[in-house]
Amino acid sequence: MYKFRIAPSILSADFARLGEEVTAVIEAGADLIHFDVMDNHYVPNLTFGPMVCAALKPYASVPVDVHLMVEPVDDLIRSFAKAGADIITFHPEASRHVDRSLSLIKDEGCQAGLVLNPATPVYVLENVLDKLDMVLLMSVNPGFGGQSFIPQTLVKIRQVRDLLDIYAGESGRRVALEVDGGIKVDNIAAAAEAGADTFVAGSAIFGKPDYRAVIDEMKRELAAVMV
């Protein structure tokens, strides 16, 4: 059984207090900090740049998980790697040469991953598994926080888990499977049962007064899946 990880998305945090919010959510039990980068081009919103990542890095005692919703990606891969990203994921539609972009992430010393939108087929992973440390499945359409989980994602999680398990058996390498969008206490167990091991949660955590209580409840739901 893989270790489950909770990755709060600071897209739903208080932007006026981002450093404090990062500290608070890590103290509450976060395993990663999810950093959503939107460019008002690939997606219809504009969020954080590398300077914000660099400013928050001293507050992050856990890995910084940068999700690039940008096009093109290569220049920002370099910038976010220098800004302190530990994991960088991007959408294959946003790169002309996916293998090259993944290699660039690895060359910068970061873990690399691909992000699949709800309508992106699973087969895009097949020829680059050797360069992947993570696959991120969007369970909403990217661009905005606070959306509802798309139930069909559970089928896709199972498909990707099967692919990654076969690859792990052949290579001895484990690739993490992250899910992002509408994750909350009452559906996190279903996503875990389908095969996800890393869970991005934004408003489900930052929208509540007690971060620790929410994360503890999520981890209790996940612990029941592990039994």
pLDDT at 207: 87
Q: What is the DSSP letter of 131?
A: G
Return the SS3 of 127: helix
User: Is 130:165 a contact under the CB 8 Å cutoff?
Assistant: no
Element (H, E) at 7: strand 5-8
Tally of CA atoms within 13 A in the half-sphere of 51 that contains its CB: 1
pTM of the model: 0.96
pLDDT at 78: 97
3-state helix, strand, coil in the chain (%, to 5): 45, 20, 35
Query: What is the tens place of the pLDDT at every residue in 91-147?
Result: 999 999 999 999 999 999 999 999 999 999 999 999 999 999 999 999 998 776 667
Low-confidence ranges of the chain (pLDDT < 50): none
pLDDT at 142: 78
Among 36, 39, 86, 133, which one carries the catalytic annotation?
A: 36
Among 31, 86, 180, 197, which one carries the catalytic annotation?
A: 180
User: Is 35:62 a contact under the CB 8 Å cutoff?
Assistant: no
Which residues touch 62 (CB under 8 Å, ≥6 apart)? 26, 30, 31, 32, 33
Question: Can you read off the two tokens belonging to residue 227?
Answer: 């039994």
pLDDT at 146: 67
Residue 180 among the catalytic residues: yes
